[in-house]
Amino acid sequence: WADNTHNAMGLVEQQHSGFEVSSEGQYAFFRAVVETAQYAGAAGIFYWGGEWVAVDTQDEHGSAWENQALFDFDGNPLPALNVYREMAEGNKP
């Protein structure tokens, strides 16, 4: 939480077992989703709001998706964003 907006995810019961709550866990989960889609014959995937990070800690209308974004609070890409590059380069599971 980097603003005063409640996040859509964050409660312990919302966490997916087998994936740690970290940028590395986000990468592993996203990669697993992509691998599942590829195995099922999907043409692609869509990640909604990957850039939605809070811009002001006092913002009451910040981002409820900030802890699912593909960028940190300084605008740096998180490891999960590399999954798109891996897909584009043809790296399949």
Percent of the chain with pLDDT strictly greater than 70: 62
Note the pLDDT of residue 8.
Answer: 66
As a three-state string, the secondary structure of the chain is: CCCCCCCCCCCHHHCCCCCCCCHHHHHHHHHHHHHHHHHCCCCCCCCCCCCCCCCCCCCCCCCCCHHHCCECCCCCECHHHHHHHHHHCCCCC
Answer yes or no: are the C-beta atoms of 52 and 69 closer than 8 Å. Answer: yes
Note the pLDDT of residue 13.
Answer: 74
78: left (phi over 0), alpha (psi -120 to 50) or beta: beta
pLDDT per residue over 56-88, tens digit each? 666 666 666 667 788 887 889 999 989 888 877
Note the pLDDT of residue 46.
Answer: 81
Note the pLDDT of residue 79.
Answer: 93
Q: Distance (Å, rounded) from C-alpha 51 to C-alpha 41? A: 27
pTM for this one?
A: 0.73
Note the pLDDT of residue 21.
Answer: 79
